[in-house]
Amino acid sequence: MTPRKTTKPGRTLPGRKAASNGPPVNKSSVLILKALFSFTSEQQSFGVSEFAAKLGITKNMAFRALGTLLDEGFVVRDATGKRYELGYRVLMFMQAGHGETDIRTLCIKYMHMLQEISRENVVFSIPMGPNLVTIDVIDPKGRRFARVNWVPVPLHASPGSRAILSFLHDDEIEEYIRLSVPLKRITPTTITDPEKLRAEVRLVRRKGYAIGYEDRVVGSNFVSFPVLDESGRPHGAVTIGGPKERFTKEKMFALIPQFADVMTELNREASLLDASPIFISQQTM
Amino acid sequence: MATASTRNASSHWIFDILEFVATAAEPPSAIEIADRLKLPITTAHRGIHTLEQSGYIAQHPTSSRYVLASNTKRLTKALLARFAIRGASLHFLRYVAGASQETTTLTVALGWYGLTLATVLGVNDVVDPVPVGSSFALHGGASGLAVLAFLPKGKTERYLAWVRKNNLGRPRLIQATLAEVQAQGYALSSSELDAAGELAVPIRNVEGEALASIAVRGRSLGVKSNRPKILASVVAAARRIEGVIQLEPARFHNPYDHLSPDTIRLPVAPARG
């Protein structure tokens, strides 16, 4: 299997827009604002020389830019006093309702949309160590469950699990298999052969969703979609399904394109949030 | 602090405009920005245009007012990412929110303030949700008290001196509350029936010092019989996070711990719980 790409796509730096009509810009301030934006890169601290090199300016200009940002509280010196790091004044951008949304809250609106399309159960699950746990449920009548009876489900043993597992790095998948063999059987159709699991991972990556025929709950069919961040790491999975007499294979496959449209919108918003790290070897609570 | 010769004085008013747009209750117009900051309207327009071109503010799609743009979101994301404990805790917070059905938060100390690093909403009615990025004096809520009670003794004494100096509360009362939190291992505020209570457990390093706290906030804490189960889920989450921290303790240092707490000034939300 090919390792998944985890690098983030290119970002537009400030000050790069083509000049538009309007009053002239303050060029020195444009440089300062561009300098501040440099602290959003992977590198968290800068010395003056490397900062000058990053921005393509002289050391003197870099020193003045950092001095201004230091004076304004947007950067601070690190513990050595020689390097500069992002300052906490940036918190002002989170005031007045500009704060972030958690992925769990973000998913609710889309889960209701999926329930209206399917008239089935819709659940949101997250990875926790080598398992998946369900933390939100909307029932076929559109009610958000007051009680979620979460049971840790191994990352191979349900479509939600595999929707998450498939979007981990290959090394993490192999670590999971190494730590989990023999793969636990939950129903007669649970995947327990590591080779079949690897094949399933390839299929889920290609299709963008995972299917489960009674492999987690006897008598029920489910389809699960991953919820991913900008780098393709999984936040969790949204699963739609119900009793096989009602949520038949035919009905499920007929609705998958509509589910996929909703999930595309959800993932567009989810990409703005970073997925939490996953510690495969850690036990679930 | 930069000296006059090393800073760019003309940027100061640009940042004033940016701060006004960021903190105004409603998106301001160019005229409101000029009036509020006492700038000539042409200067305000120039500053607005500079910030727009640099991706920090944008015109509201249906009006001539200004709102924050994407670069500010990138910066707040970068700031939150500096606290490695946030990334390591989010899954556990969601788990606790699922178990308790109540809103769950992660709080760290930034100077003498509690800073909310993450908020996960529960299923139950949300009472006064705590926004990410909000700050409050550490004794102003259970989540701050759970941190304050497990700071090194000398630091707690400095905190009480700061409270006394700034007339922010009664140090003796705070001290008594901290002793209670230390004895029981968690902080609980507003436990009256039907009140939105807050229950917080510290996340501690191997030396026993608090790095952060997990708090559950909601009406169900007003029912005494609910508390043991909620407390158990919060304690379990805190212990799991502590396990992760012990694997790489250096990664989880507070990135602003080297600054003197007395020099850090944050806007303070009203007292909670």
Q: Do A93 and B72 touch (CB under 8 A)?
A: yes
CB B227 within 8 A of CB B221: yes
Count other C-beta atoms under 10 Å from residue B73's C-beta.
Answer: 16
The alpha-carbon gap from A26 to the nearest alpha carbon of chain B, in Å, equals 6
Q: CA–CA distance from B123 to each of A43, B10, B198, B214 (Å)?
A: 38, 49, 16, 18
Report pLDDT for A116: 96
B 46-85 residues with CB < 8 A to A: 46-47, 49-56, 68, 71-82
d(CA A214, CA A40): 45
Query: Does B40 contact A at CB distance below 8 Å?
Result: no
Measure the CA dihedral A107/B55/A85/B254, to 10°: -20
Report pLDDT for A220: 92
Q: Do B54 and A30 touch (CB under 8 A)?
A: yes
* Interface probe with B: pick from A91, A128, A278, A282, most Cβ of B within 10 Å: A91
Q: Is the pLDDT of residue A61 over 80?
A: yes
Q: pLDDT digits over B11-48, tens only?
A: 888 999 999 999 898 899 999 999 999 999 999 999 99
d(CA B102, CA A263): 26
- Number of A–B residue contacts, CB under 8 Å: 221
Residue where the block lists tokens 């490397």: A50
Length of chain A, in residues? 285
CB A177 within 8 A of CB A194: yes
Q: Do B87 and A276 touch (CB under 8 A)?
A: yes
Phi, psi of A62 (to 5 degrees): -65, -40
Query: Does B120 contact A at CB distance below 8 Å?
Result: yes
Report pLDDT for A14: 41
Q: pLDDT digits over A118-160, tens only?
A: 999 999 998 888 999 888 899 999 888 755 666 789 999 999 9
Q: pLDDT digits over B225-255, tens only?
A: 888 889 999 999 999 999 999 999 999 999 9
Q: Do A104 and B8 touch (CB under 8 A)?
A: no
List of chain B residues with pLDDT < 70: 1-9, 123-129, 190-196, 269-273
Assess: ipTM above 0.95: no
* Interface probe with B: pick from A76, A92, A133, most Cβ of B within 10 Å: A92
Which residues touch B173 (CB under 8 Å, ≥6 apart)?
none
B 131-170 residues with CB < 8 A to A: 131-135
